[in-house]
Each structure stands twice: as structure tokens, then as C-alpha cells.
Amino acid sequence: MNTDLLVVGSGFFGLTIAERAARELGLKVTVIDRRPHLGGNAYSEDEPETRIEVHRYGAHLFHTSNERVWEYVNRFTRFTDYVHRVYTRHNGEVYPMPINLGTINQFFRSAHGPDAARDLIREQAGELAGTDPQNLNDKGIQLIGRPLYEAFIKHYTAKQWQTDPSDLPAEVISRLPVRYTYDNRYFNDTHEGLPVDGYTAWLERMADHPNIEVRLDSDFFDESQPYSKSNTVGQVPVVYTGPVDRYFDFSEGHLSWRTLDFEREVLPTGDFQGTSVMNYPDADVPFTRIHEFRHFHPERQYPADRTVIMREYSRFAETGDEPYYPVNTAADRERLLAYREESKREKNVLFGGRLGTYKYLDMHMAIGSALSMFENRLQPFLRGTASLTSGDGEA
């Protein structure tokens, strides 16, 4: 087998591992992916009619306060000065999100300053003061009060989870951010922007090394493939970034995920909603939000008479669906612990990324996690200075 390391999955985690092993250690790395493109869910493509760059698997916004990650990603791409702002359309009116002083004053038709707004929210949240809410609905009311919760959170959450919030555990939301300023930036990180040439160009540069071979349409679990599980595990070190339960053929049961469905449309107008993302928190609207991709890159010369929008729908994943967000019920956590024990018994297999660890990781978190895995676990082993304990590194 003409490779020193096999990476299963070509998302940011897998490509970071591959790039580091090839560049730092001079190793031959094979990256396989069952999809016909690299990049995992970060993959982007130009819509054929308009040439507007579309994020096929939902909007990806890069942001980080991790200087190590920021230095690393800037080796492969420059970033625009895009700042992400989200708005929400409730009862025919548009409000800024996250909830901030502008949202509060618009909603209550008031002119509160920061202190008065804090007092108002504290008073409304006091409806359940001193209680220990056991469901998301009551927890949301306790955190921000009933009016704001029911307007912006309750039905949006119900659509995301296909479940009444009264039937969801309170732990799903530990906090609901409220800003007592007019700052409506969605992220608070030090660095934020979008790759100047798009996500696919960035991902291709990460894989552009003579020691890296990328094989697409290659399923790790198809035994007819040369780099299948049965042909590689125990023969070469493997970094696996697919679903951890699939790796073990669901021996401990299926982990539960939420998935997303997208409905893309080209419209005969230069601007549909005036912003990149509009949330729809009302119960009578079936989707959760609409993306309009031209607004991610206002510096580009896109058509003035056409635009691309994409409606996003959320539901529980079924067999064959693309997993996005771990549901993480008590039963899921028990299964995950069992899979972690199984993973430790594998021979030279590391599990990483969102699917391999059953954690929701933003892009910068996936990259940071991959850098740490490479430096602390994989590099010493590949240099022959340490043994390798299989698994995802979690206790």
C-alpha cells in the first residue's frame, strides 16, 4: 500500500491533518471521501446561471479568536472584511439579532437605555425566578422573559427540533444572549471574514501538495475499494472523520442527529431580502431561515437582475441523511461512551472532526482540534518517538 497515512474525510479536520503530515513530515498521505467533491460541508460552488458562490450545505461563516488557527488558515487564503449580521422576521416586522438594545426597544416600542432594559428583562424573567426549569420552554422564559422568548425563540426552536420546547430538556439552552448595546454583530471573535476566492479554492490549496493524493467517490466501507476499512486498518495509521457509530457498524446503536434540507431558487431580482441571512421564528412559516448568497461577497460583480436564495429546513436525521448537529440525549451519551471504549481497542486509528467525536465543531474549532491532534498525538507517533493510543482523545 503506497501511503504512510490514510485520512477518511476531506473536511477541514481531515485536510489539516493531511497538510501537516505531508508538509511537516514529508509523508505520503491519501485522503478519501465518499462524496464527489472535497471539503465536506464547507464545500461551495458557483450557481451555473448567475455564477454566485453558494454554500451547498448551508452558510459557513469563518470567525475565530484563536491566533494559532488564524495564522494557519491565512497560509491558504486571504479573508474579506465581511461581518456577519442576522435579522429575524416576526409578524411582518424585521428585527436585529441576537437580541440587543435595538431589538428590545423596537419590540416594546420603547427607548430604554442599557440599565432600564436590564431591569425590564429581569422583571419579565422573574416570572419563573427561584424555580428549577426542567424543560426548554420554561428555561427560556426564565432567561429572557415570556414576550421575547415566545416571539423569537419558542417557535424557531420547535422548527429546529421538530419538538415542542416543553418536551425538550432545559439543558439544550444554557443561556440566551442579550446585549444591552446596539451592537448587532453575530460573532464576538477577534477575527472574522470570508475567503476571498471562496471555500473550495481554500480547501483545494490545503490539499495541493505533491505528497497528498485525494480520492473522491471512495467509500471507506466499500470493501471493493483499495482504501477500505478492511484493507487499511492495522496496515497504516488512519485518521477517521466519519460518523463514529458507522465505523463500528452501529454495534452500540445509532447516535441521533439533526439534519438540514435546502431549497435553492434563482429569483429575477438583484436583491431579495437585503441581507445574507433572515431568520423566520414564526410557527406559520415552515423553514427556519433564508440565505441570500450575494450578500456574503458584496465586493464581487454579481448580476444586477438575478439573485440566489436558499430556504433552510431542520429535522431529525434518518438513515441516509447527512448528519449536521448532534442531538446528544442521555441515551446518545451512553452510546458515545461505549463507542469511545471500542475506539481505544482499534489499532492506530484516531477519530476526529464533528462526526468522529459526536461534537458540533465550528470550522475554527475543527482546525484547532486537528492541529492539536497532529502535534500532540500523531506527529510523535509518526516520528517514532511515542506510541499511539487509538480513539478521539476524550476520557
Instruction: Please pick, among 56, 289, 340, 354, the residue that the annotation labels catalytic.
Output: 289
Residue owning grid cell 494557519: 72
Say which of 175, 284, 318, 345 is annotated catalytic.
Answer: 175
- Crossing angle of the two packed helices 363-373 and 12-25, in degrees rounded to 10: 40
Query: Choosing from 138, 292, 312, 332, which is the catalytic residue?
Result: 312
**How far is 12 from 128, CA to CA, in rounded Å?**
43
| Burial state string for 264-284 with b = 16 or more CB within 10 A and e = fewer than 16 | eeeeeeeebbebbbbbbbbee
DSSP H or E stretch at residue 160? helix 154-161
| 394 among known catalytic residues | no
Taking the CA atoms of residue 361, residue 60, residue 213 and residue 393 in that order, the dihedral angle to the nearest 10 degrees is 0
How far apart CA 395 and CA 172 sit, in angstroms, is 22
- Per the residue annotation, which of 20, 56, 179, 335 is the catalytic one? 179
CA 272 to chain centre: 25
What 8-state DSSP symbol labels residue 197?
T
Nearest to 143 by CA among 164, 170, 168: 170
Distance, CA of 334 to CA of 5 (rounded, Å): 31
The catalytically annotated residue of 122, 271, 360, 375 is 360
349 vs 393: CA distance, rounded Å: 11
193 C-beta neighbours (distance < 10 Å), count: 16
Q: Any catalytic annotation for residue 289?
A: yes
Distances in Å between the Cα of 76 and the Cα atoms of 59, 69, 129, 193, 220 are 20, 12, 50, 14, 28
Amino acid letter, 279:
N
b or e along 140-157 (b: 16 or more beta carbons within 10 Å of the residue's beta carbon)? bbbbbbbebbbbbbbbbb
Q: Is 118 a catalytic residue?
A: no
**Catalytic, out of 20, 56, 258, 354:** 258
CA distance 107 to 151: 9
Cβ-Cβ contacts under 8 Å for 132 (sequence gap 6 or more)? none
Annotation says 311 is catalytic? no
CB 361 within 8 A of CB 66: no
Q: Which residue from 289, 347, 357 is spatially nearest to 323, judged by alpha carbons?
A: 357
- Does 362 qualify as catalytic in the annotation? yes
The catalytic site residues sit at: 175, 179, 258, 289, 312, 360, 362
